[in-house]
Amino acid sequence: MEPHTYAVENGPYIPSIAGTGDSLIPKPRSEWSEDDMKKVGYNSKAKNIITSILSADEFFRVSNCKTAKEIMKTDESINDLQTRFTHIINNLHALGKVMDSEQQIGKVMRCLTREWQPKITVIAESKDIATMTIATLFGKLREHEMELHRSHKV
């Protein structure tokens, strides 16, 4: 996993030291190692990659988000998610990070909210997931999104 994608999936790295029991205490900045500083920077890199591909409206919508993970949790349609995801994948490709279709599908499936879990489970258990394209996944998700909207109206 690329360091900046870790920040998107897990949130920012916070250098810390052991406290009492199992607790962790944030390390004072003066005690950060060079590795700590590098890891803290991954969140900024991820935020920069994400925000660099946004339109002005989208940028202002997420500009107050503190972490890359928070930016990714904004409420959006599947079409919006597909557009943003495609931009991110293209930017990562330009930076030398190439993901195969299976990796892309896994990332999309992990970023969806809890209401999508039943559909994600069905897709994950399907026999054709290894040969599925990202376009097919987004098609299935759009169908489910329409069904969710229909069921919420009833």
Domain boundaries, the chain: 1-74, 76-154
Task: Give the per-residue pLDDT at 134.
Answer: 92
Closest to 2 measured CA to CA, from 133, 108, 93: 93
Determine the Cα–Cα distance for residues 60 and 27; give it in Å rounded to an integer. 32
Count of alpha carbons within 13 angstroms of residue 47, beta-carbon side: 18
Task: Give the per-residue pLDDT at 107.
Answer: 85
Task: Give the per-residue pLDDT at 90.
Answer: 86
Q: Which are the contacts of 89, defined by CB distance < 8 A and separation ≥ 6?
A: 99, 104
Task: Give the per-residue pLDDT at 68.
Answer: 66
| Neighbour-count burial of 141, counting CB atoms closer than 10 A to its CB (0-12 exposed, 13-18 middle, 19+ buried) | buried
Q: Hey, is 17 helix, strand or coil?
A: strand
Determine the Cα–Cα distance for residues 103 and 1; give it in Å rounded to an integer. 10
Element (H, E) at 95: none
pLDDT tens for each residue of the chain, 154 residues long: 566 566 667 778 888 888 888 888 889 999 999 988 888 888 788 777 777 777 777 777 777 777 766 766 666 789 888 988 888 888 888 878 888 888 899 888 887 877 888 888 888 887 677 788 999 999 999 999 898 888 776 5
